Chains A and B, each alone.
Chain A
């Protein structure tokens, strides 16, 4: 009985995802592109980097990268804690 309810919920969620993917905007035509067009046009003047993705990662959205580096540091610290040697 419990498993049947689980299957039903999974089927409902999957059908919802599938229909939303089918009725999304057509592939290859993003709807809102103003911000990205600004980055492509002005990113080279403002940061001097040829690679627009790098200028977004480290300059326009530097806070995102800072949080990401902190998450990586915390994950390494967690692995070190999980495998630490216990005192006999």
Chain B
């Protein structure tokens, strides 16, 4: 597939970094505001989809490699399962960091303006699931784009 016009490419160059930063903001604040790993990962994947659509599959092949996204997807899923196994001393998926005062260990009751250093293991799980979702959706887009031009697959 060929890329789109110069106007679309210029707007993409301006916008995609902001979209990626907004997606990571949604992932990081998943335990305080509406959002989380799934939604933030979908936003970041939409930024990569914008890159693929505007530049075409040929030019993007050097920038977004499918192998790197495959590795990051597997590592995200393994990190999620590993975080579940770290609480195996009590039960599977036990929240072992909440309320201990260390990393993500603060506890605030009632209505508050929001503290990022709370909620125990939930932000780490948000990050793991966010990495998995963003690489998975980007992989689907890359495979579907590369399937359209059989000559360029080598």
A→B interface (CB under 8 Å): 44-51, 53-55, 57-59, 62-63, 65-66, 69-70, 72-73, 75-76, 79-80, 83, 85
Contact = CB atoms under 8 A, between A and B. Distances in A.
Contacts, number: 104
Interface residues on B, range: 35 or more
Nearest to B91: A62
A86 to B, nearest CB: 10
Interface of B: 30-34, 36, 73-74, 77, 80-81, 84, 92-93, 95, 98-99, 104-110, 112, 114, 118-122, 125-126, 129, 132-133, 136, 139-140, 143-144, 146-147, 153
A73 B137 CA distance: 10
Nearest to B110: A44
Contacts of B140: 75-76, 79
